[in-house]
């Protein structure tokens, strides 16, 4: 008996879900994704800011823009944490950079974020460069320091590498060894130790201040002595002897007069005349 296949075969159309045509799908339009969540849309306010004259209304719009972008400035400041500066101070510096970016931005040149990020980052880096050094280091030496620091890190990270010498760093950076030495010295200039700190030897009751020498008072008269030396040599022998006895042997004028067989008044005149001559020649 023939079998009717139409009654035993399942209906494909009844078991498969119906396909939906692309045109039938409906979904809300997704907003364009931004690089960061702290990048608000302030284009209309920037356009308005540029059109406004100086006054309370313009100041209010400017403040709105700065407030809207402040989270981005804080995010950039956070990249520089743990470098010897407090987060609050870094945020203040970043906020200053944000204000500068808002004041200088031209909305016709593109997105504000592309302009603000390098402006704020540069402001924070300048803060570290100009305010955070314990010693005032010239900009050129700071640049040498950065080159030497990067080259040193790259050389040390190589397998089996030892501490690179100045010649190794010079070959790596293309600098002279003197420039490398200046950069290495600058590496130690970002922060300083207190004079109350203990030296590396760790002696109790002994501080770095104890290692400092005192000024030698004799340095102040070196130039004067050298200037007067030749003038003293040109004096007559008796006058040189009188000055020696008076100022080096600390003899009184009376004792000098007795030793030379002359009057005390004559000794006084010879001393005054000799000193005036030496002083005049030394000051020429």
Q: Is 255 exposed, middle or buried (0-12, 13-18, 19+ CB in 10 A)?
A: middle
What whole-number distance in Å separates Cα of residue 86 and Cα of residue 273?
A: 69
Q: Which pLDDT band holds residue 135 (cuts at 50, 70, 90)?
A: low
In degrees, to the nearest 5, what angle opens at C-alpha 40 toward C-alphas 39 and 44?
135
Q: What is the CATH number of domain 139-198?
A: 1.10.10
- Check residue 102 and give its pLDDT: 94
**For the chain, which residues make up each domain, given as ranges?**
43-131, 139-198, 228-282
The average pLDDT across 50-61 equals 91
- What is the pTM assigned to this prediction? 0.45
The average pLDDT across 33-44 equals 71
- Check residue 13 and give its pLDDT: 45
The average pLDDT across 143-154 equals 87
Q: Which pLDDT band holds residue 203 (cuts at 50, 70, 90)?
A: low
Q: Which pLDDT band holds residue 202 (cuts at 50, 70, 90)?
A: low
Choosing among 3.40.50.300, 1.10.10.10, 2.40.50.140, 3.40.50.720, the CATH entry for 228-282 is 1.10.10.10
Position with higher pLDDT, 13 vs 54: 54
What whole-number distance in Å separates Cα of residue 116 and Cα of residue 102?
A: 8
Tens of pLDDT, residue by residue over 151-189, are 988 888 888 878 888 898 999 899 999 999 988 887 776
What whole-number distance in Å separates Cα of residue 170 and Cα of residue 179?
A: 8
Tens of pLDDT, residue by residue over 76-103, are 999 988 777 788 999 999 999 999 999 9
- Check residue 129 and give its pLDDT: 73
Tokens encoding 257: 């007069």
pLDDT, the chain, mean: 81
Under 8 Å between Cβ of 73 and 114:
no
CA-based nearest residue to 152, from 170, 130, 179, 176:
170
What whole-number distance in Å separates Cα of residue 29 and Cα of residue 110?
A: 24
Q: Same topology for domains 139-198 and 228-282, yes or no? A: yes
243 pLDDT above the threshold of 80: yes
CA 253 vs CA 41, 237, 242, 276: distances in Å: 96, 17, 9, 17
Q: Domain 43-131, CATH 3.40.50.300 — does that match?
A: no
SS3 38: coil
Under 8 Å between Cβ of 163 and 157:
no
- Check residue 220 and give its pLDDT: 75
- Check residue 132 and give its pLDDT: 66
């Amino acid at each position: 008996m023939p079998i009717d296949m139409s009654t035993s075969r399942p209906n494909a159309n009844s078991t498969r879900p119906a396909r939906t045509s692309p045109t039938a799908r409906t979904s809300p339009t997704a907003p364009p994704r931004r690089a960061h969540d702290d990048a608000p849309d302030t284009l209309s306010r920037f356009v308005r800011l540029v059109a406004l004259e100086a006054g309370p209304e313009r100041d209010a719009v400017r403040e709105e823009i700065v407030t809207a972008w402040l989270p981005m400035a804080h995010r950039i400041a956070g990249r520089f944490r743990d470098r010897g500066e407090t987060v609050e101070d870094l945020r203040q510096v970043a906020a200053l950079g944000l204000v500068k970016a808002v004041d200088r931005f031209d909305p016709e040149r593109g997105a504000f974020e592309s302009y603000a990020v390098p402006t704020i980052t540069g402001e924070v880096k300048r803060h570290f460069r100009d305010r955070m050094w314990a010693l005032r280091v010239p900009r050129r030496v700071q640049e040498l320091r950065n080159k030497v620091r990067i080259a040193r890190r790259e050389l040390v990270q190589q397998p089996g590498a030892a501490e690179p010498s100045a010649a190794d760093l010079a070959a790596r950076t293309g600098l002279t060894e003197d420039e490398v030495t200046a950069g290495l010295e600058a590496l130690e200039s970002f922060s300083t130790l207190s004079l109350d700190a203990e030296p590396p030897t760790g002696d109790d009751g002994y501080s770095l201040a104890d290692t400092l020498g005192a000024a030698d008072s004799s340095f102040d008269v070196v130039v004067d002595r050298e200037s007067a030396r030749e003038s003293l040599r040109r004096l007559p022998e008796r006058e040189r002897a009188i000055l020696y006895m008076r100022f080096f042997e600390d003899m009184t004028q009376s004792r000098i007069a007795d030793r030379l067989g002359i009057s005390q008044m004559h000794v006084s005149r010879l001393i005054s005349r000799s000193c005036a001559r030496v002083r005049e020649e030394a000051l020429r």
